[in-house]
Structure 1
Amino acid sequence: MSNNTIAVYGASGFQGALVLAELDRRGGTVILAGRDAEKLESAAAQANLTDAEVRVATVDDGAALVAAFRGADAVINCAGPFTPTGARVVDAAVAAGAHYVDTCGEQLFLHEIYRTRSAAAESAGVTVVPAATDGGVPGDLLARLIADRLGPLAELTSVHRFGGDAAMSRGSIRTMLGVADTMADGGVAYLDGAWRPGPFDQLAPVILPGGTEPVAVGSFPLQEAVSVPRHTSIRNVRGAVEESTRALFATPLTDDMIEALPMGPTAAQRAAGTWTIVLDVVAVDGRRARGVIEGTDTYGTTASIAVEAARRLVADPPAAGVLAPAQAFDPADFLAALTPHGVRWSIDID
C-alpha cells in the first residue's frame, strides 16, 4: 500500500502503544494525539517514532480535536471508554476529512454511531468503520462469507469465547464496568428484522469447538448483532458468551483495585490468551452452517486489525458513510491478511 498519514488518538494508552508498534512495523507517517504531551512523547520514543508529530487535544475540546486530525488520512481511536466520549472523536475525524476506525467493543456506542453519523460521513466523503477489533471484524466478515454460500439467513447466533491467560488491561476493565448494565441485560439483538433491547429469552446450551458436552451460554452485547444485519438478509442475530465469562465481567471492582493492577497483560500473557468466535447459522431454507474463527493475543490482533483497516480505507476507499466491516472490505481478502497474525477460520455446512 502507498504511504499514508495516520493519527492515533489515545496513543499513550495500552492499546494505543500496540497500534503504534504495528504502524512502525508497517511504515507511513504517524501523528500521536491525546491529552498529555509528556505521555505522548514517551509513547513515541517507546515505539521508535521519535520523529512523529505529537498533538495535544482533550475529548471535550472539539476544535482541538479537529486540529489534531488535520492532514491525517485516517484516525485510529484507541481512547476508551467510548460510550461517554467516542462520538466526539468520530465527529472530529469526519470534520477533519479523515477516515475513522476505533478499537471499541461497546455495543451500544457502535449502534449509535451506525445510526447517527452516516450522513455526516457521507457528506464529508469519508468512511467510518467502528469496532476494528478482534471482536468486531472477523465475525462480521465470516458471517458475510457464510451468507454468500447459503443465501438469505433466518438465524445467526454468535458466541465469543476467551481462553488461556486472557488477562485484561486497566482500560478494558474500566470499560466493562461502565457498561455493566448493558452486559447484564444483553444489550441489543436483531429479532424479527429489527433491533430490540434486552433482556432476552435464555439461549440453549452450545457445544463449542474442542468440547463434547454443551455449555451454558448467556446473551451478551456483541458487535455482530449490530453489524451483520446491515449487509446480510437475515431475520435474527444474537450474541452470547459462556455463563462463566458473564459472571467474570460482573465481578465488582473499585477504582483503587483497578489502579493496583498492571496497565495491561504482559507479552507472555497476551501470547497465551486465546479467542474464538463461533457462528451458528440457519438459512431460510433450513440448511445449517457453523463458522469458526480463532486466534491469540486479543490486544495484538486488535492492533493489527485496526491498522490494516485504516490503511485499506486510505489506499482503496469504499463508499463514504458508516460501514460494517463486510461493507468496507472484501471479507476473504481481509481475513487472509490476518493469517500471518495467527488468525484461522473455517466454515462447515451441513
Structure 2
Amino acid sequence: MSTDTSTDMRIAVFGANGYQGKLVVAELARRGIDAVLVGRDPDRLARAAAAVGVPDAERRVATVQDAPGLVGALRGCDAVINCAGPFTASGTQVVRAAIAGGLHCVDTSGEQLHIRAVFDTFGTAAREAGVAVVPATTDACVPVDLLAHLVAARLGPLDELVSTHVIAGGGAPSRGSLRSAIGTIEAIRAGGLVHEDGDWRPATDAPRTAVTLPGEPGATPVAPFPLPEVITVPRHVAVRRMAGLTEAGLTERLNRPVPPEVVDSLPEGPTGEERRRQRFRYVLDALGTGGRRARGIVRGSDTYGTTAVIAVESARRLAAEPPGAGVLAPAQAFGAADFLDHLGRHGLRWSIEEPPAG
C-alpha cells in the first residue's frame, strides 16, 4: 500500500511554465520531491519557478523538435510529467524521449486521439526499456478508470458502460485547455470514439440524450464526447460497449472555439478562488451481461488542482513502486481502491451504488 511519504527522487516536468505545469511543480514541492523544470524558454521557466516558490529549482531548456536535446534534458530523473499540450500534436515526442532515457512517463492529456496513439505506438518499446507509461493522469481519467475496475469486479463482464462528465463553475479554461480544444475540434464535433465489440470506432449515436445525476430531480441533457477513459478502461475491463458523454451545453460552447489568435490575450487560467468554487461529477453507469446494474460516482472540486495531485502521485508511484513495464491504463498500474482512498485525502469522494433487487 502506498503512503504519502516520498522517497528521494527527481521528477521532470515538461511544460513546467504553463498553467497546469506550475500547479504540478507546486505539488511536487509540497510533497518534498525535487522537480526539474523543462521547457523551451529559459526566462519563462525562471519566472515559473519563482511564481510557485522554488526559485532555485533546476531548470533545463529543451523542445520536442530536438529529440536528442529532450532526452538529455530528462537525464538523471526518475520520471517525467508532460504538461505541454496540445498533446495530439507533440505529446508522443515526450513519450519517445522518456523511453529512450529510461524514465517512467505520465502526462496530463485529456485528448482521446493522443491517448490512443500512445497505447498503439509505444507498448513494445516501453516494455523493452523496462519503463511504465501512463497517459491521461488527470482529474477525470484516473479516478473513473479505477472506479470502472471496481464496478466490473462487482458485476463481472459488462454489456455496456457509459461515462458522463458534468462540471459546474471553475471560471474560464486555461490557455492550454483552449489550445487542446482547438487542436482536437474535429474529434470533439464528431463525438470522439466509442469502444464496441473489441475495437474503437467513431461515435455515430449517443447511448442516451439525458442523464439523471445524483441529487438532482431532473435529467441533464448530454451529448457524445471524446472522453479519455473510453480508451483506457476496455484494456482491463471486459465490456461490450463503452461510450463517453458530457453535458450538452459544454459541447455547444466547444463547437464555437476561441480563435487561436485570441488565446494569448486571455487570462492564463482560472483564479484560485474560481477553482475552489468549482464542482465536478463523473458518473459511470454499468450494465452487466447478466442484467445487474451499478453506478459509480466521483465527486470533487478544482479539476486543475486535482490533476496536479493525481499526476504527481502517479509519477511518484511509478518511480517508487514500478508496476511493470509497458503502456498501462491507471488500473493496470495502480491499486484501484488504494489510489482512490489516497485521493479522498484531497477532497475527492467516490461511491458505487446498486439499485435494490426486485
Shorter-chain TM-score bucket reads over 0.9
Q: Does structure 1 residue 105 correspond to structure 2 residue 110?
A: yes
Alpha-carbon deviations, 1:80-120, whole Å to 9, x = none?
Answer: 00011110010001111100000001001101101111111
In structure 2, C-alpha distance between the alignment counterparts of 1:307 and 1:93, rounded to whole Å? 16
Q: 1:287 aligns with which of 262, 286, 292?
A: 292
> What letter corresponds to residue 59 of structure 2 in structure 1?
V
> What letter corresponds to residue 23 of structure 1 in structure 2?
L
Q: 2:274 aligns with which of 259, 263, 269?
A: 269
Task: Note the C-alpha offset of 1:166.
Answer: 4.2
1:53 alignment counterpart: 58
Q: 2:340 aligns with which of 335, 344, 347?
A: 335
The residue correspondences of 1:198-347 to structure 2 (distance < 5 A) are: 198-201=203-206, 203-347=208-352
Question: Contact (CA 8 Å) 1:76, 1:101: kept in 2 or not?
Answer: yes
Q: 1:199 to 1:185 in 2, by over 3 A?
A: farther
Write out the 4+ residue segments of structure 1 that deviate beyond 3 Å after TM superposition. none
Question: Contact (CA 8 Å) 2:181, 2:257: kept in 1 or not?
Answer: no
- Secondary structure in 2 matching 1:6: strand
In structure 2, C-alpha distance between the alignment counterparts of 1:252 and 1:221, rounded to whole Å? 16
In structure 1, C-alpha distance between the alignment counterparts of 2:256 and 2:59, rounded to whole Å? 37
Q: Does structure 1 residue 159 correspond to structure 2 residue 164?
A: yes
Q: 1:201 to 1:18 in 2, by over 3 A?
A: closer
> What letter corresponds to residue 280 of structure 1 in structure 2?
D
- Secondary structure in 1 matching 2:80: strand
Question: Contact (CA 8 Å) 2:298, 2:351: kept in 1 or not?
Answer: yes
In structure 2, C-alpha distance between the alignment counterparts of 1:201 and 1:158, rounded to whole Å? 12
In structure 1, C-alpha distance between the alignment counterparts of 2:258 and 2:200, rounded to whole Å? 31
2:3 alignment counterpart: none
2:148 alignment counterpart: 143
2:88 alignment counterpart: 83
Task: Note the C-alpha offset of 1:256.
Answer: 3.5
Gaps of at least 5 residues in structure 2 are 1-5
In structure 1, C-alpha distance between the alignment counterparts of 2:173 and 2:285, rounded to whole Å? 27
Quote the RMSD (CA, aligned, Å).
Answer: 1.1
Task: Note the C-alpha offset of 1:215.
Answer: 2.3
Question: Contact (CA 8 Å) 1:166, 1:274: kept in 2 or not?
Answer: no
Question: Contact (CA 8 Å) 2:182, 2:260: kept in 1 or not?
Answer: no
Q: Does structure 1 residue 25 correspond to structure 2 residue 30?
A: yes
Question: Contact (CA 8 Å) 1:80, 1:171: kept in 2 or not?
Answer: yes
Question: Contact (CA 8 Å) 1:159, 1:279: kept in 2 or not?
Answer: yes
TM-score (normalised: structure 1): 0.98
- Secondary structure in 1 matching 2:217: coil
In structure 2, C-alpha distance between the alignment counterparts of 1:11 and 1:315, rounded to whole Å? 22
In structure 2, C-alpha distance between the alignment counterparts of 1:80 and 1:255, rounded to whole Å? 14
In structure 2, C-alpha distance between the alignment counterparts of 1:25 and 1:202, rounded to whole Å? 42
Task: Note the C-alpha offset of 1:251.
Answer: 1.8
> What letter corresponds to residue 242 of structure 2 in structure 1?
V
Task: Note the C-alpha offset of 1:199.
Answer: 3.1
- Secondary structure in 1 matching 2:323: coil
TM-score (normalised: structure 2): 0.95
1:74 alignment counterpart: 79
Question: Contact (CA 8 Å) 2:62, 2:70: kept in 1 or not?
Answer: yes
